[in-house]
A and B are shown apart, each in its own frame.
Chain A
Amino acid sequence: MPKMKKKIAIKSRLSNVKKLSGEVIEKLSILKLDHQFLLNIKLAIEEALINAIRHGNKLNPALEVTFSYCIDSKKVSITVKDQGEGYDYHKVPNATDKKRLLTTSGRGLFLIRYTMDEVKLNKSGNQITMVKYLPSPKRIL
């Protein structure tokens, strides 16, 4: 499978979220991957974009979110970067803490970590890179 790469800057509008996740899922569809596998990638992409648009750029349409992806024979890598101040992601409370189960926020990053194989944030917390390895039979040399 030839490597597919793209980098795009979008305005901070939530209406862009499904367009971008849909594009990546469409690219992956030729690999005939399991539907649940694709849904996990879609979930991580959308959570990362929503975090960037809503929390990073505070829904300011004048600020941009940079979205890039790379699909090769082994993995899918996605990076989302916003223009916000970032945050200390080490201080994000555990979403599954018994005392926090009733809270209605703070599960986005948890779901990203749950669905992807590797997740890295930059020091300031305004950029996230997520990797999902393709199931081995799909790794085409």
Chain B
Amino acid sequence: MNIQEKTVNDNIVLIVEGDIDFSITREFKKKFENTLSGPAKRIILNLSKVLYIDSAGLAALIEVMQKSNMAGKVLLFTEPTEKVKNIFEATKLKKIFKIYNTEAEALQV
């Protein structure tokens, strides 16, 4: 897994590339917490390059969303691939995640 970070209008966009699974959740959460400690109020997690997610990966997303909320920040998900979208739907996590089709849409929220 690789995470690229960019700043767009004071928002942080994290572009995740690769699997989000049990083998990388510690690294993923650490990277996210570094971002969370910065000044950005809104963090966008771009999932367009994530082809695989498991239950540990889902748990990591829930955890970072809760940490964002506790820090008074907003976490938005964008461009999930079909595979990830299907898993979000099956697990009903799409009800609690803020998911947008494009980064541009999320930036307008």
Real binding pair: yes
* Residues of A in contact with B (beta carbons under 8 Å apart): 14, 17-18, 36, 39, 42-43, 46-47, 50, 95-96, 98, 101-105, 107-108, 110-111, 114
A110 with B91, Cβ < 8 A, contacts A17-B22, A50-B56, A104-B63 known: yes
Interface size class of B (residues with CB under 8 A): 20 to 34
CA distance A98 to B62 in the complex (A): 14
Q: Output the least CB separation between B63 and chain A (Å).
A: 6
Contact B83 A36 (CB under 8 A): yes
Interface majority SS (helix, strand, loop, mixed), chain A: helix
- Number of residue pairs spanning A and B whose beta carbons lie under 8 angstroms apart: 55
Contact B82 A102 (CB under 8 A): no
What are the residues of chain B within 8 A of A17 when measuring CB–CB?
22-23
A42 with B55, Cβ < 8 A, contacts A50-B22, A96-B92 known: no
